[in-house]
């Protein structure tokens, strides 16, 4: 017999997550790595200065310069950093509690890569986190516990031109390198095409992909001038990105405010893309499992949301959605209300 696909967290835990999300939205620069401590250093010329000493995503000890000790603003700057470190320790304690109770938490390295995007306003300007990390943010916002899904990818989607105040110097690649991770371009299959992907240098499989909606049904490559980069253009992505929400990416090394799709659109889109992926049965299977978990929860906790999301799908996509629904029917057996809802409006 199929087991339930999700479990609801307690109201107290949901309130704790909301507090963390509020902190992420208001913190300004995302503070990543261990919170650390303030200490004083002296350079070869004898000048003293303050640093934040912390451990990064690779457990390497780092110094982050704060201010010269002789500066008129030294004391206020140090006091401000001590406050930020105290807040970071409090948030870290909350994230540990949430993680123990089944909230989804990113690895320190993945948060380190996302944090510069948040700090530079990419999500505020309209960028949307998609893929498995978006799924993790979505289930946390819904207050539910689901099966975990491993990933080595970060996927950033751009619905339209991002309203950035300025183009980051060096473009998206240099922005990602602010994480302390040595990202490099991933050559396209056709060497004449520009790269749309970045990966950590070396044998690491850690990859960052930039995506945009395709104009039609064909996969292509499009320039993203405001990020000094190119993106893979995907069909049906426009549907997913039409509505989004702000959430928080959690890690035991900090938190970052991100933008993710609405849960119901994410679920319907996963049903769709599971049928149009080519040569990636493992990815399609993960699409279906994520869609099933969200459909189970939304059908029982937010009646009508899935029907509204389905009504906005392109007509050409609905045969794929119906096929996926048949494939997850058995797994939705413990959630008859949810199955009846999607069966009724999707036929």
What is the DSSP annotation of 178-193? TTT--EEEPPPSSTTS
Q: How confident is the model at residue 304 (pLDDT cuts 50, 70, 90)?
A: very high
95-139 residue pLDDT tens:
999 999 999 999 999 999 999 999 999 999 999 999 999 999 999
The mean per-residue pLDDT over the stretch 313-341 comes to 95
Contact call for residues 168 and 177 (beta carbons, < 8 A):
no
Bridging pattern class, strands 48-55 and 254-261: unpaired
Q: Alpha-carbon distance 347 to 141, whole Å?
A: 29
Bridging pattern class, strands 229-234 and 244-251: unpaired
153-172 residue pLDDT tens:
999 999 999 989 877 788 99
Which tokens hold the place of 333?
A: 């057996």
Residue spans per domain, the chain? 104-346
Number of helical (H) and strand (E) elements in the chain, helices listed first: 11, 14
Residue 30 in this model has a pLDDT that exceeds 90: no
Which tokens hold the place of 5?
A: 């696909």
Q: How confident is the model at residue 296 (pLDDT cuts 50, 70, 90)?
A: very high
| Residues listed for the chain | 347
Label residue 135 left, alpha or beta by phi (over 0 means left) and psi (-120 to 50 means alpha): alpha
206-255 residue pLDDT tens:
999 999 999 888 899 999 999 999 999 999 999 999 999 999 999 999 99
Non-local (6+) Cβ contacts of 210 within 8 A are 156, 157, 158, 172, 196, 197, 224, 227, 229, 230, 231, 232
Residue 319 in this model has a pLDDT that exceeds 90: yes
The whole-chain average pLDDT of the chain stands at: 94
Q: At what angle do helices 281-301 and 318-328 cross, to 10 degrees?
A: 80
Q: Alpha-carbon distance 26 to 31, whole Å?
A: 12
Residue 180 in this model has a pLDDT that exceeds 90: yes
Quickly count: other Cβ atoms within 10 Å of residue 133's Cβ. Answer: 24
Bridging pattern class, strands 37-42 and 153-157: unpaired
What is the DSSP annotation of 38-65? EEEEE-TTS-EEEEEEEE-TTS-EEEEE
Residue 1 in this model has a pLDDT that exceeds 70: no
The stretches of 8-121 forming alpha helices (DSSP H) are 11-26, 74-100, 108-119
């Amino acid at each position: 017999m199929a087991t339930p696909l999700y479990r609801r967290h307690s109201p107290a835990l949901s309130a704790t997550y909301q507090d963390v999300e509020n902190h992420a939205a208001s913190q300004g620069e995302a503070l990543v790595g261990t919170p650390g401590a303030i200490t004083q250093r002296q350079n070869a010329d004898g000048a003293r200065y303050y640093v934040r000493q912390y451990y990064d995503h690779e457990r390497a000890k780092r110094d982050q310069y704060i201010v010269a000790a002789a500066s008129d603003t030294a004391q206020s700057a140090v006091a401000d950093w001590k406050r930020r470190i105290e807040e970071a320790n409090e948030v870290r304690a909350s994230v540990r509690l949430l993680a123990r109770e089944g909230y989804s938490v990113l690895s320190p390295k993945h948060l380190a890569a996302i944090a510069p995007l948040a700090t530079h306003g990419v999500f505020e300007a309209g960028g949307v986190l998609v893929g498995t990390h978006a799924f993790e943010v979505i289930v946390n916002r819904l207050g539910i516990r689901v099966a975990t899904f491993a990933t080595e990818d970060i996927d950033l989607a751009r619905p339209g031109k991002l309203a950035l105040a300025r183009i980051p110097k060096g473009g998206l690649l240099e922005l990602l390198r602010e994480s302390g991770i040595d990202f490099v371009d991933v050559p396209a299959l056709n060497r004449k095409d520009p790269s749309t992907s970045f990966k950590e240098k070396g044998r690491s499989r850690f990859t960052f992909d930039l995506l945009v909606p395709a104009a039609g049904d064909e996969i292509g490559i499009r320039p993203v001038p405001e990020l000094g980069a190119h993106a893979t253009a995907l069909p049906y992505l426009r549907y997913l990105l039409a509505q989004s929400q702000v959430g928080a990416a959690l890690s035991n090394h900090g938190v970052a405010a991100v933008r993710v799709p609405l849960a119901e659109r994410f679920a319907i889109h996963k049903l769709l893309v599971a049928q149009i992926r080519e040569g990636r049965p493992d990815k399609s299977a993960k699409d279906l499992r994520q869609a099933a978990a969200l459909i189970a929860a939304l059908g029982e906790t937010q009646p009508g949301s899935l029907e509204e999301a389905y009504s906005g799908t392109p007509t050409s996509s609905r045969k794929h959605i119906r096929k996926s629904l048949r494939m997850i029917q058995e797994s939705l057996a413990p959630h008859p209300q949810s199955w009846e809802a999607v069966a009724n409006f999707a036929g």
